Amino acid sequence: MSSNGTSKKVIAIQGDITQQGVDAIVNAANESLLGGGGVDGAIHQAAGPALLEECHTLNGCNVGDAKITKGYQLLAKWVIHTVGPIWRGGNHQEDQLLASCYRRCLEIATEKRLKTIAFPAISTGVYGYPMELATPIAIQTVNNFLQGNTTIHQVIFVCFSLDSYDCYKRFILEMLPEK
């Protein structure tokens, strides 16, 4: 499932982000950056203990911000750790904070001159952000960023469940029509 609305590609796949051979994968971490469950646990498991060691040197990360580490045993050379907002009903700047996560990851990837990046559906697991609301924010923020000056030419949304893949497919078709 892809869109060529710009010369840069945004695609959604169903799969496991730890298995992606991209320049950077994004981790949906918590503020401590010291590991957790869900995608965070899977990434640390696949990267090996050296990832946690490097994370210990970072002094955590604020909600809406991101920090980069090496990828260690992952196929991806880099991991960009971001901290999504916890869903608290929608009136606590969840949308701005979620958009900021995607933007900060893309800014850091651009500073490192990376070309390909894979995102999980940030905040939609334990943090409870409704998938139907999070997905258009992810797509819009990424697409807006790709209109500007960046080295990134491919963004992959890696959907763990079939439900989230269906949701991304639907919004990509709706929001990023092929030109």
Q: Which residues are at the interface with ligand ADP (CB under 6 A)?
A: 16-18, 28, 38-40, 42, 84, 120-127, 158, 160-161, 164
Q: Which residue has the tokens 């078709």?
A: 173
Closest distance of CB 175 from ligand ADP, Å:
19
Contact 84, 101 (CB under 8 A): yes
Closest distance of CB 177 from ligand ADP, Å:
25
Contact 62, 83 (CB under 8 A): yes
Closest distance of CB 17 from ligand ADP, Å:
4
Closest distance of CB 139 from ligand ADP, Å:
15
DSSP string, 112-133: TT--EEEE--TTSSTT---HHH
**Of 34 and 126, which has the nearer Cβ to ligand ADP?**
126
**Of 148 and 162, which has the nearer Cβ to ligand ADP?**
162
**Of 8 and 44, which has the nearer Cβ to ligand ADP?**
44
Q: What is the largest CA-CA distance in the chain?
A: 45
23 among known catalytic residues = no
**Of 55 and 150, which has the nearer Cβ to ligand ADP?**
55
Residues 76-112 as b or e (16 or more Cβ within 10 Å = b):
bebbbbbbbbebeeeeeebbebbbbbbbbbbebbbee
Strand partners, 11: 2, 156
Indicate which residue of 16, 23, 40, 65 is catalytic: 40
**Residues labelled catalytic:** 40
